[in-house]
Amino acid sequence: MTAEFETACFGIITYVGTARSCFIHAVQCAKEGDFKAAEAQMKQGDEAFTEGHHIHADLLAQDARGELNESGLILMHAEDQLMSAETFRVLAEEFIEVYKKITS
């Protein structure tokens, strides 16, 4: 496993982990009625998620060109974290909407 590949995988994990934390915090803000903070957390989470997604897309492009001869548990973990963050985002949006309806 090359250092570049390992760095890319850990980059995905770091960015999408940050995104997931932001999405969870957004729900907590909405639960307390602070929808402005919830929106800010969602935006911050989206930005972090996008960075992780770009790294993943670069790896996929390298693989499609036959340039990526590596895979393994670390990439699977990174992709799992990517999907988890995406799922949390969808759920966070739904929870925020529910909290808005409850408080209005």
Options 53, 54, 56, 77, the catalytic residue: 77
Helix (H) or strand (E) holding 66: none
* Helices and strands (DSSP H and E) totals, the chain: 3, 0
HSE-CB of 34 using CA atoms within 13 angstroms: 11
Q: How far apart are CA 44 and CA 88, in angstroms?
A: 14
Q: How far apart are CA 43 and CA 58, in angstroms?
A: 23
Residue 23: φ, ψ to 5°? -65, -40
Q: Is 54 a catalytic residue?
A: no
User: What amino acid positions are annotated as catalytic residues?
Assistant: 77
